[in-house]
Amino acid sequence: MEIKVLGTGCPKCKSLEKLTREVVEKNGIQATITKVEDITEIMKYHIMATPALVVNGKVEIKGRVPSAAEIKEVLSKY
């Protein structure tokens, strides 16, 4: 599974990255997590607000920091 956290480095973006890493580690999920801060790269996903969570190329969550339970639920679909 490939996970990307999109965000330019704001506190919410950092929070989403930290939370995602914790959920993946705690649940033994096999995944590669990448933090994308390049605005040109972020724009390719057609989102208007960061942070965003992208799983296997699909934008799953955008514009907010979800709960750990919500992240786990999204990742469990993959």
Amino acid type, 14: K
Residues in Cβ contact with 23 at an 8 Å cutoff, skipping those fewer than 6 apart = 29, 68, 71, 72, 75
Task: Identify the active-site residue in 2, 8, 10, 26.
Answer: 10
Task: Identify the active-site residue in 5, 6, 13, 75.
Answer: 13
Phi, psi (degrees; rounded to nearest 5) at 26:
-65, -35
Q: Is 53 a catalytic residue?
A: no
Q: Is 10 a catalytic residue?
A: yes
- Catalytic positions: 10, 13
